[in-house]
Structure 1
Amino acid sequence: MPFNPKDHEIPEAPPLDTFKTEIDTATEPFEDLEFPAETISVYKPNQKPPPGAARIKKWLRPHQVNGAVNPELFVDDVNVLDVQQGGLGDCWFIGSLCILADSRHRIEQLIVSKPETKERGKYSFRFFRDGQWKNVSIDDRLPCDLKGNLVFAKSTNPNEFWVPLLEKAYAKFMGSYASLEGGFTRNALVDMTGGFSEVMDMKKKTVLDVWNYVSKRTQQATLIGASSSSTTGETGIGSTGLMAGHAYAVIDCFEVADVKLIRLKNPWANGEWKGAWADNAAEWKNSPKVAEVVKPSFADDGTFHMTIEDFCKYFTTLDVCRLINYPVNPDTPAVVEWKCQTRLGNWNGEGLFTANTKVSRRGPQFTFTLQETSDVIISLTLHSSKYLSDVKDKDFPIGFHVMKSDENKDRCFFVKPASIMFKSTFEYSRENSMKYNQLAAGNYLICPSVYFKDKVGSFVIRTFIRSSCKGFNVELLPGEEEYYHYVAKESQWDFLSAGGCMNSWRWIKNPQFLLTLKSNESKKLRVRVGVEQVSDQPEFTGMYILQANDKNPTKPIYENKEAAKPLQFINRADNISDDAFDLETNKNYVLIPTTFKTGIEMKFTTKAFIQKPPGPPVTVDLIPLTDSIFKRKYLECEWTKETAGGCPNNKETFWKNPKVMISAAKDCEVDILLCQEEKDGKLAGVGFHVFKGEMRSACQCAKTNSWGFNRVAALTISLQANIAYYILPSTYNAGDERKFTIVAVHSSDVKLGLL
């Protein structure tokens, strides 16, 4: 199938406040065959049974549950005290319910439909996954013990059932109840709000940093959980009453005078902090103003307060969910501050984007344009097919780079630090997100990647900009194979052909390749070139991109007529143009790959990437000029003290210059090149005369235009068959001692010799 970026587009999810709860008017009792009232719904064959699994003896509907007299989905309003964890290690999910339970409206928004009659027993909830809201329907049969008590989560009021029903729906959403064993509060909050998550490592922050973050976020559309890391599961932290490896809900924060307090909730609905400012602690009696503002409840309900200093001492991580266009209450529509583009992508083992290898550059790249300055949020999330899979290797560090691009929106081959606008860290996390304030108008690339290579999986990337901005589209660029015509030729430098860079005349000895671009419609094409060397210790390599000879395209080039800027000399195994450049079509170009130093023997590959234009295909070819009819002969010599006779202005010494004879077996044209070496970092003015038949002034048939300070002086002459021609190379000034080389570029049988 041809590449189509629209195949990777995911429609923007509608805001939660656009949904309405429907009433299911059917009366027949519903039984969910997809998530049956059986052990398979509690744990799968490859899963460890959760702690409460052995207590499950039957599945009961709400009116059958012990203690329920008049069961309802909600009894009055909801609050954090309603929620109580059961025999399942899902404190991270129950903690998220505690955070959401400050408003009944937040819970009601998750209800797709509920039954008109209790006998129906069918409830549908919505959760956010892969950039879309997904509906999950369940029956109301709940796992209970022999006495009819709920085994898993419940409400403190025995007649209220929104907590166990929502937990059951989320268990189905994740695959089983056992799938809820262990997790992160931030992920559950994202699944129930459509927001994006952040993580704060509190140990890397000061107490003031943590306070400023929490106090600011609790006043904004942000939900927060907290936990203390543990390597042995949920364990007590001394006599503090806290549990390591356990998730708590951050409910609120207060600052009264110089006292800074955090209010938290234990999802167990018991087990509270026993230190300063704990329930009934002396601090409350000694600080009546604080008590008046905070209004603590001293019930054994899992809710407690602690100072920011103690909070930072015993907790290590903040799990944060930042809400996007989220309705605060049912009477006030959500303020649409952001607009979003959601895209699907895949990793196929490319690894870290900034590794700058020929594999890493093939990873997914997305382009977008800002028409005006805006805040930008990038959220990168593993696709559910990855994090819900049974594969052991389903967690790996993910991150992204946002690069400055140009109007051509080319794929990025190599990362230049100066072009990185912002980047995330790489996290072992389901989601990695970042907000960047005031990104300037322009073109950008988003390059998501995995820190380690050979990792495979799908992902969803969401890009948010301010809703006031005009025009916005995120588009996945075609892969390298779909984006470029690729041509390559293998070759090698030996001692003679490794001519080095243009700092030496020997650069003309380097292998040359003819690049042809033919198109009936496109006037210009975007091109990248590269040199890939075969070496354990990469040498500095580069490339010159020159205009080909118009009359004889396959004729080797020795004049530096640039068609594009040279490929920078870099010591990496695969050196490719950082930026693409334009070349006109229906013209010929010569690529000259070189090592920086002369005489380096090595195998290499010359490569060219030509962007495929829309419309009819173009014809691209790369031909080694070593296969052409043109040959080169070299004759090395030098001007010594005795033979550096200078130009004809030096009449007494001119004829002392070295003399070279050239002849051909048949009539032909020959390019004569005089190539000088630098001496003490300086060039001499050089040139040469050509004499036909005899070496005397009357027989002069050609000469170079001037004696310029050039590395190469060149002249094209016509040779008649079997006639000797004489070349007299000279420096402008007599006595200028230095080495030089005569090169003859020819298509016939030419002889070249020093007299």
Structure 2
Amino acid sequence: MTQWFKEPFGRSFQQPHQDYETLLETCLRNNCLFEDPNFPADMNSIGRGSLLQKLPPTLHWKRPIELHDNPVFYSTKAERLGLCQGVVGNCWFLAALEALTFHGDILNRVVPLNQSFTKRYAGIFLFRFWHFGEWIPVVIDDRLPVNEAGHLVFVSSTCKNLFWAALLEKAYAKLSGSYEDLQIGHVSEAFVDFTGGVTATIQLSKAPLDLWDILTRVASKRSLIGCQTHSGERILNNGLVDGHAYTVTGIRKVTCHNRPEYLVRLRNPWGKVEWKGDWSDRSKKWDLLNPKEKILLLRKDEDGEFWMSFHDFKFHFVSLVICQLTPDLMSQEVGKKWMCSLSTGRWVKGSTAGGRLRHHAETFWMNPQFQLTVLSADESKKSSTPCSVLVSLMQKSKSLHRNQMKHLPIGIFLFRQLWKGNQRLPQEFFQRTMPLFIPRDFQTEREVSYEFSLEPDTYLIVPCTSEPWQESEFILRVFSRKHALYPFSHFFPQEIVDKYEGGEEFFTKLFEKCPEINAIQLQKILNNMTWKYLSNPQPTFSMDACLGILALLDFNATGTVGIQEFRYLWKRLLIYQEVFHKQDKHKSGFLESGQLRAAAQEAGILLSDEVCNLMAIRYGNSNRKIGFENFVYFMLRAENVEGAFQNVTQDNKGIYLLKSEVIMLTSYFFPLCNLALIGIF
């Protein structure tokens, strides 16, 4: 009898993640097939709602090995466009998925293609999605919903023994909360979740005059293209479906009556129901082409794929969605490298949720602030030529179910930062400074994006909600040829210090008997603190760490710190505790290299991957993981290095030091400062 392996309950991708390799090896060792308790084969995974009415009277869960004599996970020999939508209303997901099949390398990242039903098969499969700023592994078992006849209820393939798409849909349903949560969506969301790229939506009623040229450029690049028909829920006489997403699978310029004709090829995710107008499969327009071109382009299979004229496309479709891994969607530049910066933030009621500028001028300054320095991509000379910059703002809901996510109206304001510095700009700045960009409207979307042409200079980005006190986390991404993005800290106001019971009274009582604190006293204070947000065991600060902290704060070289120095340390400790807790997603009490970079960035320090790897070696344990004690020590040193750099640099890009100054700085801040001097940090 077949055994079944069940993982302990209470784990999901949001919590300590399911380790695919560990689960696979356990199943193989025990000769059993995996059952996923986090997404069980029952109605909890189907969900509640309108989907229930579409299900067959009897629903079974079967593995591919039970449905076919020779199940195949993925085959390069299979027809690329062989997917058919099931009863879930997720045409937007299928349209994006079919666009993904044009790019094998991207597909392989989302769908590891080395999985199979024969070699090392244990009923467990792995997929990856870009989810709010990071690639998330999603583990599932391969039990799929089928009807009484054994046919898949949801996504299937025209090749009946091919199952990669059905399993991918299940993994995406798990990420979204349930199959029901896939019922409504936008193709742009799936594009981003598959690639981590950036999307541009063009309303075809307001399309630019050079839209065909734009399509020609993006079709020749690494682009995923989808489109949407006008709202509704019916099949039109012309064969199009209202309120439906399609995939753009190709474009072609042909010659007809000695005149150019522009054609667009599309595919219906249903795998059937096609356009019946000009240039459809049975249109007489094809007889006007030369025979070679007709043979090359025309396919008369009822597979959901068809051609139509560009003119008809613009008339019958409402929007066009283009997704690329680089933001040069509208640019004619070829072979240029783009860089991306990602920063996280949140709008908090009473603290950082200030609302829009026009209607809430008295609170707007409270919003998160990000300094953007746009640099000339031509390093050989200083240039004032405007640079293409794309800014994307994505809001993040706390709901575990995609369809329960309440999206707020969001947007960004852009200012030229006339005052150079690395501190938050006060209310007075916004009272006297006109923004360079004001959003025309605040869109209730998961992600909004804006394209700018900016001269090399320093700017200020202020992401906000339309109304104050609306709470949400967000991700800000900036794409350009060359730039630097610096988040101004929101942690310095007194209310953050007051998070620790006692507030200012705590400092007064602490220094009442002794005006200065030495390393022994500092160690006693830190090790007797209650770190509310940190995982057990509580961190233990060694005497060496406390001596190092004192050395960084004691600029008078007395071996002690006073109340003002300790107040600064206390604020930093509260910040470090918050960001450490947020990035320690497995609640292990340690950060890995990537988590270290994210935590440092949220605290206001930008690090390169090289520095993070080196710091994991320098400050981490034997597994290169950094505990809270060493994280505090590292962050204090990093901030001191940045402060020293800012004090010496003239142009915020580099410094010139005498030999004696180099010796002093590298001795005092080693090993960070020497890295900064050689351009790694």
TM-score by length of 1: 0.55
Offset of 1:346 from its aligned partner? 2.2
The answer (yes or no) to whether the contact 1:80–1:99 under 8 Å persists in 2 is no
> Alignment partner for residue 296 of structure 1, among 287, 295, 298?
298
Aligned to 1:544: none
Q: Offset of 1:286 from its aligned partner?
A: 1.7
| Separation (CA, whole Å) in 2 of partners of 1:171 and 1:431 | 20
- In structure 2, the residue matched to 1:345 is 346
**Which of 182, 196, 199 does residue 198 from structure 2 map onto?**
196
Q: What are the within-5 Å matches in structure 2 for residues 374-523 of structure 1?
A: 374-385=387-398, 388=401, 394-405=406-417, 406-409=419-422, 410-411=424-425, 413=427, 414=430, 418-420=434-436, 425-437=441-453, 439-466=454-481, 469=482, 472-478=484-490, 481=493
- Go from structure 1 to structure 2 and tell me whether the alpha carbon gap of 1:350 and 1:402 turns closer, same or farther (over 3 Å shift): same
Query: In 2 relative to 1, CA 122–372 (structure 1 residues): closer, same or farther, beyond 3 Å?
Result: same
> Which residue identity lines up with residue 412 of structure 2 in the other structure?
F
In structure 2, stretches of 5+ residues that fail to align are 1-19, 329-334, 378-386, 498-563, 569-681
Contact 2:101 2:107 in 1 (8 A): yes
Percent identity, aligned pairs only, is: 29
**Does the 8 A contact of 1:79 with 1:101 survive in 2?**
no
Q: 1:614 to 1:80 in 2, by over 3 A?
A: farther
Structure 2 vs 1, CA of residues 321 and 284 (structure 1 numbering), >3 Å: closer, same or farther? Answer: same
Which of 33, 41, 45 pairs up with 1:41? 45
Give the counterpart of 1:315 among 311, 317, 329.
Answer: 317
**Structure 2 CA distance for aligned equivalents of residues 481 and 391 of structure 1:** 33
For residues 24-39 of structure 1, what are the structure 2 equivalents within 5 Å?
A: 24=24, 26-27=27-28, 28-39=32-43
The verdict on how the C-alpha distance between 1:391 and 1:301 changes in structure 2, with shifts beyond 3 A counting, is closer
Report the CA distance shift for 1:55/1:222 in structure 2 as closer, same or farther (over 3 A): farther
Paired amino acid for 1:407 = K
CA contact 2:354–2:364 (8 Å) conserved in 1: yes
Give, in angstroms, the shift of residue 316 of structure 1.
0.5
C-alpha distance in 2, partners of 1:217/1:380? 23
Given that 1:41 and 1:176 are in contact with CA atoms closer than 8 Å, whether structure 2 keeps it comes out as: yes
| Number of the residue aligned with 1:218 | 219
**Distance apart, 1:416 and its partner CA:** 6.0
Provide closer, same or farther for how the CA distance between residues 303 and 140 of structure 1 changes in structure 2, counting only shifts above 3 A. Answer: same
Match of 2:253 among 238, 252, 255: 255
- Displacement, 1:335? 8.8
Distance 1:372 1:140 in 2: 51
Listed as ranges, the matches of 1:622-641 within 5 Å are none
Q: Which runs of 5+ in 1 are unaligned?
A: 1-19, 327-333, 486-612, 618-755
Distance in 1, Cα, partners of 2:403 & 2:85:
26
Residues 134-213 of structure 1 mapped to structure 2, 5 A cutoff: 134-205=136-207, 208-213=209-214
Q: How far did 1:114 drift?
A: 3.2
1:252 Cα offset (Å): 1.3
> Deviation of residue 403 (structure 1)?
1.3
Higher helix share: 2
> Which residue of 2 is the match for residue 573 of structure 1?
none
SS at match of 2:106: helix
Give distance in 2, aligned partners of 1:336 and 1:301.
Answer: 38
Amino acid in structure 2 at the alignment position of 1:157: C
User: 1:416, 1:180 → 2: CA distance?
Assistant: 47
- Partners of 1:22 and 1:320 lie apart in 2 by 38
Instruction: Specify the alignment match of 1:624 in structure 2.
Output: none
Question: Equivalents in 2 of 1:301, 1:171: separation in Å?
Answer: 25
Q: Is the 8 A contact 2:223 2:322 kept in 1?
A: yes
- SS of structure 1 residue aligned to 2:72: coil
Give me the whole-angstrom Cα distance separating, in 2, the residues matched to 1:96 and 1:52.
23
**Aligned counterparts of 1:338 and 1:78: Cα–Cα separation in 2:** 36
Q: Aligned-pair distance for 1:615?
A: 8.8
Contact kept? 2:389, 2:478, Cα under 8 Å: yes
**Is 1:63–1:70's contact at 8 Å kept on the other side of the alignment?**
yes
The answer to whether the 8 A contact 1:79-1:98 is kept is no
For residues 255 and 390 of structure 1, the distance between their equivalents in structure 2, rounded to whole angstroms, comes to: 41
CA RMSD, 1 decimal: 3.3
Which residue pairs with 1:505 in the alignment? none
- Contact 1:339–1:465 under 8 Å retained in 2: yes
Q: Which residue of 2 aligns with 1:366?
A: 370
Once the two structures are superposed, what CA deviation does each residue of 1:66-124 show, in whole Å capped at 9, x if it has no partner? xx331111123455422111111000001111111124433222135736637411101
Question: Is the CA contact 1:225–1:247 (under 8 Å) kept in the aligned structure 2?
Answer: yes
Partner of residue 74, structure 1: 74
**In structure 1, distance between residues paired with 2:290 and 2:173:** 44
| Distance in 2 between residues matched to 1:71 and 1:103, nearest whole Å | 24
Q: Is the 8 A contact 1:56 1:143 kept in 2?
A: no
Deviation at 1:306, TM superposition (A): 0.5
- The 1-side partners of 2:400 and 2:451 are apart by 24
What's the secondary structure of 1:241's corresponding residue? coil
**Residue 150 (structure 1) shift:** 0.4
Change (3 A) 1:271 1:366: same
Could you list the per-position Cα deviations for residues 608-652 of structure 1 after superposition, in whole angstroms to 9, with x for gaps in the alignment?
xxxxx99978xxxxxxxxxxxxxxxxxxxxxxxxxxxxxxxxxxx
Structure 1 residues 210, 370: CA separation in 2 closer, same or farther (over 3 Å shift)? closer
Structure 2 CA distance, aligned partners of 1:424 and 1:391? Answer: 27
* Counterparts of 1:259 and 1:142, CA distance in 2: 45
Q: Which residue of 1 aligns with 2:279?
A: 277
Aligned residue in 1 for 2:502: none
SS of residue matched to 1:200: strand
Instruction: Give SS of 1:30's match.
Output: strand
Q: Which residue of 1 aligns with 2:13?
A: none
The verdict on how the C-alpha distance between 1:270 and 1:391 changes in structure 2, with shifts beyond 3 A counting, is closer
Structure 1 match to 2:543: none
Distance 1:479 1:426, change over 3 A: farther
Q: Distance in 1 between matches of 2:265 and 2:22?
A: 36
Structure that is richer in strand per residue: 1
Report how far residue 195 of structure 1 moved. 0.4
CA distance in 2, matches of 1:111, 1:452: 40
Distance 2:154 2:241 in 1: 20
Could you say if the C-alpha distance between residues 98 and 371 of structure 1 is closer, same or farther in structure 2, counting changes exceeding 3 Å? closer
- The equivalent of 2:508 in structure 1 is none
Aligned to 2:639: none
Structure 1 letter corresponding to 2:74: F
C-alpha displacement at 1:343, in angstroms? Answer: 2.0
**Structure 1 residue 52 displacement after superposition:** 3.5
1:389 Cα offset (Å): 6.2
After superposition, the C-alpha distances for 1:372-422 in whole angstroms (9 at most, x for unaligned) are 365322110011426946757x12321112211121254253266754157
Q: CA deviation at 1:142?
A: 0.3
